[in-house]
Each structure stands twice: as structure tokens, then as C-alpha cells.
Structure 1
């Protein structure tokens, strides 16, 4: 039974409590990858229905995960649907979902450099997502478009997940795991490094994939209350004809994994329809016990960036586990580069679910408000980037990926790192009123460093690939030991160069182990 907290959150009280961030959190490195080039999946390089290359290297900041030894996994979303094509399917195309493996090593910068570290991105692998289960694809006839099934299905003897919005079975709820449509938004690595967990917006779904082949291994049940019952390839239609479930294109945007690897935390980008939708003040975080499948729900209070009379709520883009009960939450507006506007609100908050109450049986804004968790501001991204000379009109509108990275030493002091990435919507360049002559819109990587005292309860994920299990109780592991281990792995990555031209092969070809 739910019991109200002793206090109620109000917009004014919330803003007062979170008015300042940690002063020691600062930008130490910045890098980018050209959004015009292709990834390493040459099998998918043929033009999509909208004319974009099927392997365009974009959207990589939708999800971001550290995999140990300077290796990160970058997750694009459903593909280049920002290119106008066919509104009857929300301009989506048969882009095959995938994740990219990157090598990102921080190195001390030369004296006099603007930032203390350099970061050189190196693309080393592309892994396509698929399953041995037969999936449902749209035939496209009703919309005057080709069949939604990728040609590679037959060639490689498998069923690939794609971004096409009509790839669903209308007789089931939207969380039907046989639907081929997948809009990946967050990714986390299992502790043994052999698989990845991915959350999505269409279902919402939470799937586990084999990291090497990209084959789906498992499905984790998301409560039916998160799904919609009337499906449509047009998001606006799904919103208008449903009264409960996720808001279209605002599903499970964030995913975190506990340090011991036993628990996932999935964050809904916006409140469910029954909780007020995009006008609601409280969205949900779903806790999933991977051993039992048991789920628990928590209410997260979105910041009112408007007024009491006319509220305006941002969205959640990602969550990151500090330990088994505390999370960092990426809450942001949609303003900045690619939105023809000025970035204003891009905050990372800290929350504690340790004593929060389960809101599974609560509904509506009034029902969630008494049980909402409290939050404190950890990082004001716009403020820090502006202090380093980034014009707010050029700060990406969609800063969507969070990941802790390797520790660094600055002035003899060890610091932790937080990587923040953007989703460039597969738009390599942007031309708008703020940039009438056009501006490059690459995949960007911002690295922030902070003192251990800023997050004293931080526990690093127990990744086997770091060969340093001693970090399970503290993020202050032996960096010298890790560097020694990772340097051996670095030698194995020499087949790639700084432009990301790595080994010429494709993963995810339906080798059903």
C-alpha cells in the first residue's frame, strides 16, 4: 500500500533545492566524428527509401555505454527519419538497427591547449541487431512504399530489426516482441561483457543481445500499462487514439545497469498518457530485477521550466547508475543545434531510489506526486560548455547519452569522468536562421571530470573486461593496472585508424548460436 511522503514537491521548492551544481564538475575533453561518412556495415550501405545511405554514421549519441579498456558502445536510434520522405510512416525508413563499437582514449593535451585532455574517436566495429524469431514487417502497400522487410533477411537467414514505423502486428499491444520495429535509445553492457541490454521507444521494449553477433538473446517484460493498444505508423495518431501507455516517440529513453549487473533501470522520456503525457509533471522509472523479472516503478519529478500558470516540462534522455539505488538522470529541453534555437536547459540530476515507494498502482499526476523522488543538480551542461566558449546556438539540442569512463589524473589528483554524447538525427549539416550558411552537425563527445567527493557513493560496474574486479567496491581502482591491461588491448585495435576506417566486416549475419 502506498503511503504519502511527509512533504509535497512544488515547482518552486524543487527549483530552490536544485539551484546549484557541483563546482568541480568541469569539461576536460571534446571530440567529434564526421556525420557524412558511413559505418563499417558495407552490406547496408545501399540507399534507403528516402535516399540516405543505409550505413550513414549518425545518431550515435542516442545511447552510450562504457565497456572497459577505453572501449565504448554507441547506439543510433531508428535511422535518418529527419529527412522528409513519407509522412504516412513518419518519414521512417528500413534502416537496420545497430550499435557501434568505438575506441575513445583520453590523453594529456599539450601545454597551452584549451582543454587538459585530447580525445581521439576510433570506430572499430558495427554490429547489426537481429533475431532468429520470425518478425512482423509492414508490406507498405497502403502507404505506397516498399515492403518493410530488409533484403538482408533472406541473404543472411535471420530477421533484422529496423526503424520502419509500420513494422508491427496491429492485433497485439505495442510491446509485442515479434514486431520488427525498434527505436533503440539506450544501451548498457553486461558485467561479463558478452551481451548488451537495449531499451526502445516503440514498445517500449528491453532486449538483451549477443554483443558479438547482435542476435537477440532475451526479452524483459515491460508492464502492459506502458504499452498502447491501438497502433499506427504515425506517432501523432497513436497519441490521439490511446488514453494509456507511452507517448509515441517518448518511450523508454534511458537505461541504467547496477554495478553488480543484476538490475536495470529504464526511464520513460515523458509521462505515460494516463499520467498526463507531455503535459504531465511526473514520469516513471522502471526497475527490473534480471534474476526474477520482478519490476518496481518510481515517480520522477520533471522540472517546470515554464510558469505555474503555463507549465513546460523537459524530458529524460538517459539514466546512469551510481550504485544499486542511486542514479544520474539526464533531463533536457529540445533546444539548440538542429532545432534552430538556443540551448538553455540540459541538466544532469542525482536521485536516490533507496527509500522511494513503488508507484505501480498509482496513476495520474495527483496519484504520483506524493511519492515522487527528490533530486539534486549534479551538472548544468549548458553553463559549463558556455564557460568554455561554446555558443548555446551550437550546443546540440539532443544531448542523450551518459556513461562513466576511465579515471584521469589532473594536477596529481585522481578524478572520475562522465561522457555525454549527442544524437545528431543523422543530419550531417544544418542550415537554419541561426546558421544561414550551414554548419557541420557531427557526432560529438563531451568529457567532464569530477572529484570523488562529488559522488562519494559511486561504485563502478564490475566489468570483467577491465580485468580489475577490485573496483566493485569503489570507482577508485588501480588505474595504472587498468592502463597496463588496456594498452595490450590497444595494440589489438591497430587495424583501425583515427578516421574510423577499421576492419572490413559486418556482424549480425544470423549465425544463430
Structure 2
């Protein structure tokens, strides 16, 4: 028996309830040497319709099959908002508060038992200093309970501050990846300024030869390190006033004195 989802291709929006067709099939392999005709080939696979399963929400409301039953919305402190409080998912420019332009959840990992989802911002939010690399060192790591996400919306169960390593000029090296190691311990991959090296001296960097796509320009790659971070002793700030964009965790790059950040230790260079 197999279940198939039919594909409907039309222009515009269609009032169509997604469904699965349940079929029985009988496969009769052909091992002969003589090529079969098309009609004879059709006989090697016989399908028998059994039933149709319609997709519905918990309350019986028809859905298209791709509706988000367990969508996640971060705290308002992270959501990019304009000066009037409207959503502002920008890339080239920064919003008034929330994640800075094109600096969203770059790190994503899950616990081995599939119960907790972790997401790490690439750099600090705007209100926490994210508008400048020199003050963007404190992004937020959030954790969501997804153990029952099929029937229950994932809930925020933790939020911590992760200090990013600085380059030689003091600019934050944005987080590019996150990997779960064990309970409360993660690997974070940080990168140099623009992916082509910062302003450090040649002796502190790896010289990258020119490539055709770069127009012959030589780049310096100054940071290629994975760091171990531990949140065992870090302050869990979820459910506090720091969930609001009006309460920054850092001012001009200085972390709030009431917050203990995650411990960051260089691991693989």
C-alpha cells in the first residue's frame, strides 16, 4: 500500500483541500530479454484505489497540508521592528530594533532526543549594539521545546547571551554555525568581518591567493576557529524584561551587569 499526494498546477489561488490517495499496488517484475510493448509494460504494475485521506486541523478545518501548526515567533526583542512598531525584515538597512539587517538566526541545532531546538543570532540585536561591528558582540541564543510540536506550539524555554570573539581591531566576528555537543555545551563557528578577512596585520592572518572571481584581489582570512561555549553558569533571561526591545542587554557594547554570559573557549583553530 502507498500514499500519494496529488499535484494540482493552476494559476492563482485554488480552494483545494490537500489530501493523500491510498492505493494498493501489485508489482510483477519482467525478467525477459525481449522489449515489452507499452501496454504490456503497464501490466507489470497494477494499482487499486483504496481511500482518500483529507488533511484537516485539530478542529476539523480543512488545510492545504503545508499549514504551520507549530510555527515559532521569537521574543519581541529579536523580531525586527520599524520605528512605528511594524515588521521590518530588512537586509541592506537596519530596523529600529531587533535583529540587524541580514543578521538573523545563522546558527541552528537540535538536541539528540529531538526535544529542544536551539537558535543563535549572527550578531547582537540593534538595541544591544548590533548597528556597529565594534559593539555587536553579544547575540542571543534561544531554546524552544519542540517535543510535542505537532499538536502544540513550540514554547520558549531558555535564552542566553553568547559573547562573540573579536578580531584584532575589536570588531565582533559573527556566528556562522551552531552545533549541539552535550547538555549546555555547543560549538560555535565564527567568521571574520566579511568572509574575506579583517584589518589585522599580515602576520596574524592567512594569505588567500587571488581567484578569477575576485578580479585578482588578494584577501586576508584572519579567523577560522570553532569555539566551545557553555551556558551552564550563564543567566537565563527568557521571560524577563529583556524580552522587550525597550530593555537592551548591552549598551554601546557593554553587557548589563546583571547578566552572566555563556563561557567561550577556543577549541579548533
Tell me the TM-score range normalised by the shorter chain.
Answer: 0.5 to 0.7
Deviation string, structure 1 residues 107-160 (Cα, Å, up to 9, x no partner) = xxxxxxxxxxxxxxxxxxxxxxxxxxxxxxxxxxxxxxxxxxx987758969xx
Tell me, in whole angstroms, the C-alpha distance in 1 between the residues paired with 2:168 and 2:229: 22
TM-score (norm 1): 0.30
Corresponding residue SS for 1:274? helix
Which of 195, 204, 207 is the aligned partner of 1:335? 195
Which structure would you say has the larger Rg? 2
Answer yes or no: is the 8 Å Cα contact 1:287–1:297 preserved in 2: yes
Deviation at 1:332, TM superposition (A): 0.7
Runs (5+) with no aligned partner, structure 2: 1-8, 18-64, 148-153, 197-210, 243-248
Partner of 2:254: 366
Tell me, in whole angstroms, the C-alpha distance in 1 between the residues paired with 2:168 and 2:91: 25
Answer yes or no: is the 8 Å Cα contact 1:221–1:293 preserved in 2: no
Corresponding residue SS for 2:127? helix
Deviation at 1:346, TM superposition (A): 2.0
Tell me, in whole angstroms, the C-alpha distance in 2 between the residues paired with 1:152 and 1:270: 41
Deviation at 1:244, TM superposition (A): 1.6
Partner of 1:224: 76
Quickly say closer, same or farther: Cα 1:289–1:355, change in 2 above 3 A.
farther
Partner of 2:231: 353
Answer yes or no: is the 8 Å Cα contact 1:282–1:368 preserved in 2: no
Deviation at 1:298, TM superposition (A): 0.9
Deviation string, structure 1 residues 36-81 (Cα, Å, up to 9, x no partner) = xxxxxxxxxxxxxxxxxxxxxxxxxxxxxxxxxxxxxxxxxxxxxx
Partner of 2:166: 304
Tell me, in whole angstroms, the C-alpha distance in 1 between the residues paired with 2:254 and 2:125: 13
Partner of 1:497: none
Partner of 1:49: none
How big is the alpha-carbon RMSD for the aligned residues of Structure 1 and Structure 2? Answer: 3.1
State how many pairs are aligned.
171
Tell me, in whole angstroms, the C-alpha distance in 2 between the residues paired with 1:214 and 1:378: 40
Answer yes or no: is the 8 Å Cα contact 2:179–2:187 preserved in 1: yes
Answer yes or no: is the 8 Å Cα contact 1:335–1:343 preserved in 2: yes
Matched, 1:275 2:91: no
Corresponding residue SS for 2:92? helix
Deviation at 1:265, TM superposition (A): 1.0
Partner of 2:144: 288
Answer yes or no: is the 8 Å Cα contact 1:256–1:320 preserved in 2: yes
Tell me, in whole angstroms, the C-alpha distance in 2 between the residues paired with 1:217 and 1:342: 46
Which of 367, 370, 378 is the aligned partner of 2:267? 378
Quickly say closer, same or farther: Cα 1:375–1:274, change in 2 above 3 A.
same
